[in-house]
Homo-oligomer: A and B are copies of this chain.
């Protein structure tokens, strides 16, 4: 038996498309409906076979759905959720996949708590690529999916959504939206900020010498600027504090090099290597 009768995915891009493909593969829904903003993206969504049906009509699409997943850019999630709750049935679960959680969860909980079961989610699977053409059902395998829990979270909806993401291959982690943003600021916002700045520091001559280190460290600087502008702004507090603590560390290395302090440099690099070596999947 299917886990959900009707799943509606709002935004059928890399993430929404991958969810659709994975849900189909695992047979977790009887029907998957995709919601697109433009007719051209509706056609691309249908061609990708990530959804059974695709429409531009948000209200019609979420009506009767058991699970509604907002996979739109972070900056649009709250506005879309506001429309969703007006059309969703009472027992249905509403969730999102935004990289920033505190602002999104607290905003949506303000208008959704009594009308729907909202649980914020952040599957830590993505790519510097975008678009449904780059979607694949396997991107969630082994990835961490954070679900947020607040005083207002319906625990039955939380555990049902947890089973859903587990079925797609994710390892589950339940955090408060604040803790999510704090950890994600170090694990994701900061690497992106550093990667963009590393890329911007290059010039025509240095790029010609690009080997593995530059290629790897700047890969995510090829990510969508609009998306990352929104994440940095929605999670500006944690982002700024992660960038500041990174800069303090780099400053320490800089001073040690300047002073030719071999011992401090070695200690720094060894501690950093130990952490890098410990990263899951290294």
Between A146, A182, A269, the greatest number of chain B beta carbons within 10 A of the residue's beta carbon is seen for: A269
A200–B280 contact, CB under 8 A? Answer: no
Residue interface mask A242-282, B partner, CB < 8 A = 1:
11111101110110011010100110111111011111111
The answer for the CA separation of A222 and B257 in the assembled complex, in Å, is 19
Decide: A232 and B265 in contact? CB cutoff 8 A: yes
CB nearest neighbor in B for A270: B225
CB contacts (< 8 Å) of A265 on chain B: these are 229, 232-233
**Cβ-defined contact, A144 with B208, below 8 A:** yes
Give chain B residues whose Cβ lies under 8 Å from the Cβ of A282. Answer: 215, 219, 222
Roughly how many angstroms separate A60 CA and B186 CA in the complex, as a whole number? Answer: 53
A272 to nearest B CB, angstroms? 4
Of the stretches A18-26, A82-90, A152-160, A187-195, the one at the interface is A187-195
Interface of A is mostly: helix
The listed residue with most B CB atoms (<10 A of its CB), out of A225, A270, A276, is A276
A213 at the interface (CB under 8 A from B): yes
A209 at the interface (CB under 8 A from B): yes
In the complex this chain forms, how many copies of it are found? 2
Decide: B273 and A258 in contact? CB cutoff 8 A: no
Could you tell me if B187 and A209 are in contact, using CB atoms closer than 8 angstroms?
Answer: yes
A257-B240, A265-B233 are known contacts. Are A198 and B209 too (CB-CB below 8 A)? Answer: no
Contact A211 B272 (CB under 8 A): no
CB atoms of B214 and A187 under 8 A apart:
yes
B183 A209 Cβ-Cβ under 8 A: yes
Q: Which residues of B contact A236 (CB under 8 A)?
A: 257-258, 260
Chain A contacts with B in 110-141, Cβ cutoff 8 A:
124-127
Q: When the two chains form their complex, are residues B221 and A233 in contact, meaning their CB atoms are under 8 A apart?
A: no
> With A and B bound together, what is the CA distance between A160 and B217 in angstroms?
34
A279 touches which one: B187, B215, B249 (CB < 8 A)?
A: B215
Digit string of A193-227 for contact with B (CB within 8 Å is 1, else 0)? 11111111111011111111111111111110110
> Which single member of B187, B200, B214, B240 contacts A258 (CB below 8 Å)?
B240
Check if B233 sits within 8 Å of A199, measured CB to CB: no
A125 CB → nearest B CB, Å: 6
Report which A residues bind B (CB closer than 8 A). Answer: 124-127, 143-144, 146, 173, 179, 182-184, 186-188, 190-203, 205-223, 225-226, 228-229, 232-233, 236, 239-240, 242-247, 249-251, 253-254, 257-258, 260, 262, 265-266, 268-273, 275-282
Known contacts A229-B262, A229-B269; 12 further A-B pairs (Cβ under 8 A):
A126-B212, A144-B210, A186-B201, A186-B206, A187-B209, A188-B214, A190-B198, A194-B217, A195-B213, A215-B279, A221-B273, A233-B260
